[in-house]
Structure 1
Amino acid sequence: MTVLDNLSWPVVILLCVVLGGAPFVPEPHLVEKLRMLGQGTLTRPMDILDLAMHGAPFALLVAKIVRVARR
């Protein structure tokens, strides 16, 4: 079994909501960083790391969906 198989769906979804949405006010970091990426202003290493950290749960979710779909 892989790590993806051992993670339950509620845990992965909770990670997406909490880490992907943090901080919730005034706007989630993920939304801000994706906007910066689209505008071409995502240049500072801290901003790139922020995008990676807040986007990681969604990458995990996509990997889990692909793994289940291939079975």
Structure 2
Amino acid sequence: MAFLDSIPLQILVIASLTLGLAPFAPEPHIWEKLKMLVAGELVKPIDIFDLVLHGTPWVLLAAKLVREFVLKR
């Protein structure tokens, strides 16, 4: 977990809001891929790669927040 501790929280917030939501129009890419996942339409490798690419900042941010504010108490 030293890797996660070494990343500043501000960087993860910025990455989540930029890479995690890009492109912004007509809807965020991560939202589109999550809808495809729920509908069972996430079958192409490029779509799976997009979900991983745009979801990674959000997963890292959530892990960092849990580690910082829940586990350190």
- Normalising by structure 1, we get a TM-score of 0.91
Letter in 1 for 2:37: L
2:17 & 2:63 partners in 1: Cα distance? 17
| RMSD of aligned alpha carbons | 1.3
2:57 & 2:31 partners in 1: Cα distance? 14
Any stretches of 5+ residues in structure 1 without a counterpart? none
Q: How many residues align?
A: 71
Any stretches of 5+ residues in structure 2 without a counterpart? none
1:58 & 1:28 partners in 2: Cα distance? 13
1:32 & 1:60 partners in 2: Cα distance? 20
TM superposition shift of 1:70: 1.3
1:65 matched residue in structure 2: 65
2:38 matched residue in structure 1: 38
- Normalising by structure 2, we get a TM-score of 0.88
Q: What does residue range 1-71 of structure 1 map to in structure 2 within 5 Å?
A: 2-68=2-68, 69-71=70-72
1:48 & 1:31 partners in 2: Cα distance? 13
TM superposition shift of 1:66: 2.2
TM superposition shift of 1:10: 1.0
2:55 & 2:38 partners in 1: Cα distance? 15
TM superposition shift of 1:43: 0.6
1:27 & 1:43 partners in 2: Cα distance? 20
The percentage of aligned residue pairs carrying the same residue is 46
